[in-house]
Amino acid sequence: MRTQVCIIGGGPSGLLLSQLLHRKGIDSIVLERKTRDYVLGRIRAGILETGFVELMREAGVGARMDAEGFTHDGTVIAYGEEEFGISFHAHTGTDVMVYGQTELTRDLYDAREAANGKLVFNVEDVQINDAQSEAPYVTYHVDGIAHRIDCDYIAGCDGFHGVSRQTIPTSVRREYEKVYPFGWLGVLSETPPVHNELIYSWSERGFALCSMRNANLSRYYIQCSLSDSPDDWTDTAFWGELKRRIPSRHAEALVTGPSIEKSIAPLRSFVTEPMRWGRLFLCGDAAHIVPPTGAKGLNTAASDIHYLYHGLVQFYQDKDTAGLDAYSEKALARVWKAERFSWSTTNLLHRYPDQSEFDLKMQRAEIDFLRGNDAAQKVFAQNYVGLPY
Ligand code: FAS
Ligand code: PHB
């Protein structure tokens, strides 16, 4: 079989690229190792930068997002009983959209299937071959039957544990990593959000985040030990700990209920360079990971897709490879800024096991400075709504 672009990974990156290319008449196939339901069962991101929102609209899949998503023009930073707001709109003129990754991935699947897009599920043994040649190809198995796809280009959208990054020789790859000494325990509950904006909360006991998906679906996180497992936390224990980590006025207003999803995500910062090797292009979590504190993971995958999509269109329409040749450098320039913001917000709001009294004073001074300085809030807002593509 032959296609123009072979996309490995049917998460948001791969699906968004496939849908955008389709709208330009560029043929692709998406190879996904799990099932559609499995992919949709993963509860992950919730905040979309303006750039991502525009891309979804350009891909023709923005209708439900625009109808059901929430525009948020600011957020709350809390510490102990103190709190203050940062207005994204006042500082940047833009906002963010609250719309779950699960829903946007569903919209992308629906659109690809409505267009009879080529989506292959339950693929195994995916291998990328001759990526350095003019005639790369991908092999894989489904139900024990071997398949081969000849293509012009390969998009590695297969996440942190995928095969694409590993295809680039270690002699070529440079990897940068920081593993944080804590994780996030996340709970989804069919309860009304505790506040109309997100609350990022520093507390003596550790970080907490109050987020949401809609008027009756809330998403909460608490910093937890890496040795924890979700089974260690009853709903009662989770709610009790969350209440101890947010200002009491919010704790008293919190509506609790049974968790419908409970999971722990380890936190790491990771980047691999370059993000291109011959005809193979890495996108999203296949190339980089951030701690979710800055809501940058999914949004940085979107900017990768923006650059690659435009590079591919330029090639297929004008036979010009300038966009593709610039992809890695351009994508990495924005990736590293997202890494910085995610790392700095994580350091600002989490309790580290080895923190000294001086370290705590530095965190408090940093939060106080952010509270009182317009320029500091502008910088925070510019990063949170998303730096320019
Ligand atoms: P994904 O990992 O979403 O998708 C990759 C796909 O490739 C998967 O479906 C996988 O099954 C498939 N795949 C893997 N190997 C393959 C192979 N060999 N062959 C074929 N297919 C293969 N970001 C935020 O902004 N906020 C958050 O709160 C947040 N929480 C997160 C929680 C967790 C537990 C994780 C892991 C990530 C979280 N993220 C969050 C980041 C997350 O949203 C990612 O940025 C986003 O899923 C990136 O999308 P993709 O690049 O498509 O990668
Ligand atoms: C979420 O709603 O899942 C969410 C929101 C903001 C973050 C991380 C996760 O920074």
pLDDT tens figures, 154-179: 999 999 999 999 999 999 999 999 99
* Residue 206: C-alpha distances to residues 19, 329, 350 (Å): 40, 37, 6
pLDDT of residue 221: 98
* Average confidence (pLDDT) over 116-120: 98
Q: Verify whether residue 310 is a known catalytic residue.
A: no
What is the arithmetic mean of pLDDT over 287-299? 98
Q: pLDDT value at position 259?
A: 97
**pLDDT tens-digit map of 302-315:** 999 999 999 999 99
* pLDDT mean over 219-239: 97
Closest to 277 (Cα-Cα) out of 171, 383, 200: 171
Order of all β-strands in the sheet with 28-31: 118-120, 28-31, 5-8, 153-156, 280-282, 276-277
Residue 145 Cα to ligand 2 middle (Å):
40
Confidence tier at 64 by pLDDT (50, 70, 90): very high
pTM, full prediction: 0.96
Query: What distance in Å separates the CA atoms of residue 107 and residue 221, rounded to the nearest whole number?
Result: 25
> Quick one: pLDDT band at residue 87, thresholds 50, 70, 90?
very high
State if residue 45 touches ligand 2 by the CB under 6 angstroms criterion. yes
Q: What is the distance between the alpha carbons of residues 60 and 311, in angstroms, rounded to a whole number?
A: 19
Best residue among 42, 43, 47, 99 to mutate for probing ligand 2, ranked by most atoms within 8 Å of CB: 47
- What is the Cα–Cα distance from 215 to 68, expressed in whole angstroms? 10
| CA nearest ligand 1 atom 3, residue | 11
Polymer length in residues for the chain:
389
| Cα 189 to Cα 257: distance, rounded to the nearest angstrom | 6
The DSSP output letter for 80 is: T
In percent, how much of the chain has pLDDT > 90?
A: 99
State the catalytic residue, choosing from 22, 193, 292, 307: 292
Name the token pair of 19: 């849908």
**pLDDT interval class at 86 (50, 70, 90):** very high
Nearest 5°: phi and psi at 357?
-60, -35
Mean pLDDT of all residues in 189-196: 97
Per DSSP, the three-state class of 123 is coil
Catalogue all structural domains in the chain, each as residue range(s) with its CATH number. Answer: 5-70+98-177+268-345 (3.50.50.60), 180-267+350-385 (3.30.9.10)
- Establish whether residue 208 lines the binding site of ligand 1, counting it when its CB lies within 6 angstroms of any ligand atom: no
pLDDT-derived band at 137 (thresholds 50, 70, 90) equals very high
Query: DSSP character for 2?
Result: B
- Burial zone of 143 (CB within 10 Å; 0-12 exposed, 13-18 middle, 19+ buried): exposed
Residue 4: band (very low, low, confident or very high) from pLDDT cuts 50, 70, 90: very high
